[in-house]
Chains A and B, each alone.
Chain A
Amino acid sequence: MSQLFHPAANSIAKISVVAGALAAGLVAILVLFVLPRSSYVTRQHEARVQPVPFYHAHHVGSMGIDCRYCHTSVDRSAVAGIPPTKTCMNCHSQIWNQAPTLEPVRESWRTGQPIEWVKVHDLPDFVYFNHSAHVNKGVGCSTCHGRVDKMSFVWQEESLLMEWCLECHRQPEKFLRPKSEVYDITYQAPANQLEMGHQLVKEYDVYPQVTCSTCHR
């Protein structure tokens, strides 16, 4: 009876045990550490199509309308505020008031039924976030939201992962800007950011917590 296995089969068997363990480890790393950070999971940089072609690039970038004109409660509430249809009609009662693309806006205005905007920045429900606490302490809109004045349909500029939150909560001096610049979407950090940041931390009394219950409450 001839040999069923080639003599090399012993080595292959031994190597395959090690290789299998390595492959399993690699898959585990991918599933646990790489996949959750990927934009496939975080949906980072994925522009969301909205029911109305509302372009921030046009309204903010070209027209120069301030963020707060629509997101009115950003400096006094946890939520920045999604504008009611009336805010659209402040201008669009006269401008583009026949445009077919704006028919959903006019329909909403006639019926009182809100436009169903698609939420772009959807934090998990076990996270508490307060806009006013941030903008009133020198965290600029564009620090988290990016250059919204260049986006047509808005996307999520950052990962919104917990490690991303902690990056700033641990070292706010890297990101703070003067309060007068918070709403300037074109703001560029100066060369002496760290020096200025340390000063702003003291001046604005910024001591962000990193305990669990700060955000998970």
Chain B
Amino acid sequence: MILRVSALVALLAVAGLGCRQDMHDQPKYKPYRQSEFFTDGRAMRPLVAGTVAQGTLRDDTALFTGKSGGDFVTEIPLAVTADLLERGRSEFQVFCSPCHGRTGKGDGMIVQRGFKRPTSYHVDRLRQTPVGYFFDVITNGYGAMSDYAAQVPVEDRWAIVAYLRTLQLSQYAPAADVPADRKAELEASLQALDAHEAAGEGH
């Protein structure tokens, strides 16, 4: 019996030697795979400087740089629709809110953890600033903020800019702009805010 068991084990071991993972690990390049051919070890090759893929010549300077004739554009060069604003909100919350906070006050979690506090969007200077400036900052960075050109595609950057304007408006709209049938809601929330601050919990 011992002989039989050891024979079976030996047989399985021999069969196991034949098991290889050649189909599982094929000698081909896939994204992020290591290369033994290129000296930097990367299978994914960086683009040669100045490469332009077909159909992507960025000749629309307003759209791709936020500038026109050296000045920042004052109009978003895309149709500002509800869909664009919705996209802007989701992208803003992913890429901007970690530092700028969900309302753009500059109090995001990364700032709370010690990153340089960015200027609040809700100051007069930034309310007057043309939209092209915000696009330029996202594209090229500003001060301690890195550029987000690699993380956020051009259309999404404009969507974020459009949403940023929405945020600014949300904190600086005249009471006269509130529809008559919703004035009561505004009054109620203001009273709640007053009560909150009177209770000393506000900050």
Identify the A interface with B (CB < 8 A). Answer: 16, 20, 24, 27, 31, 63-66, 68-69, 72, 76, 78-79, 82, 84, 86-87, 89-91, 93-95, 113-114, 116, 119, 124-126
Partner of A27, one of B12, B31, B40: B12
A76 / chain B contacts, CB cutoff of 8 Å: 153
* Cβ contacts under 8 Å, B116 to chain A: 94
Are B110 and A125 interface neighbours, CB within 8 A? no
Does A69 lie within 8 Å of B94, measured CB to CB?
A: yes
Q: Is B49 an interface residue (CB 8 A)?
A: no
Q: In the complex, identify which listed stretch (B63-71, B77-85, B126-134, B144-152) lies at the interface while the others stay far away.
A: B144-152
Tell me which of B25, B95, B114 contacts A95 (CB under 8 A). B114
Knowing A69-B98, A95-B113 touch, does A125 contact B32 (C-beta < 8 A)? Answer: no
Most chain B beta carbons < 10 A, residue from A31, A69, A116, A126 = A69
B188 within 8 A of A: no
Q: Are B40 and A113 in contact (CB under 8 A)?
A: yes
Residue numbers in B under 8 Å from A27 (CB-CB): 8, 12
Residue of B nearest to A123 (CB): B24
Bitwise, B146-172 to A at CB < 8 A (1) or not (0) is: 100011110000000000000000000
Q: Report B-chain residues with C-beta under 8 Å of the C-beta of A90.
A: 146
B contact residues, range: 20 to 34
Inter-chain CA distance A113–B26, complex, in Å, is 25
Beta-carbon contact of A84 and B109 below 8 Å: no
Q: B105 on the interface (CB 8 Å rule)?
A: no
Determine the main DSSP class of B at the interface with A. Answer: loop
B93 at the interface (CB under 8 A from A): yes
A104-B114 Cα distance, complex, nearest whole Å: 21
User: A125, B12: Cβ atoms under 8 Å?
Assistant: no
Contacts A69-B95, A82-B32, A93-B146 given: A126-B113 contact, CB under 8 Å? no
B122 in the interface (beta carbon within 8 A): no
Residues of B within 8 A of A95 (CB): 110, 113-115
Which single residue of chain B is at the shortest CB-CB distance from A117?
B32
Which B residues, 107 to 128, have Cβ-Cβ distances below 8 Å to chain A?
109-110, 113-116
* Contact (A24, B94) CB under 8 Å given A93-B146, A94-B144, A125-B30: no
9 A-B pairs with the lowest CB-CB distances in the bound complex, closest first: A125-B26, A66-B94, A124-B24, A90-B146, A79-B31, A68-B94, A72-B151, A94-B115, A63-B109
Is B23's CB within 8 Å of the partner chain A? yes
A16 pairs with B110, CB closer than 8 A:
no
| Cβ–Cβ < 8 Å partners of B114 in chain A | 94-95
Query: B53 near A: Cβ within 8 Å?
Result: no
Q: In the complex, what residue of chain A is closest to B98 when comparing beta carbons?
A: A65
In Å, the complex CA distance between A66 and B94 comes to 6
A113: which B residues are within 8 A, CB to CB? Answer: 40-41
Q: Which residue of A lies closest to B1 (CB)?
A: A16
Q: Which residues of B are found within 8 Å of A24, using beta-carbon distances? A: 8
Residues of B within 8 A of A124 (CB): 23-24
Contacts A65-B98, A125-B30 given: A31-B12 contact, CB under 8 Å? yes
B26 and A66 form a contact (CB under 8 A): no
> How far apart are the CA atoms of A76 and B151 in the complex, in Å?
12
**Closest CB of chain B to A18's CB: distance in Å?**
14
| A-side contacts of B12, CB under 8 Å | 27, 31
Choose from B1, B23, B152 the contact partner of A125 (Cβ within 8 Å): B23
Cross-interface CB contact of B146 among A20, A31, A78, A86, cutoff 8 Å: A86
CB distance from A19 to the nearest CB of B (A): 10
Q: Which residue of B lies closest to A126 (CB)?
A: B23
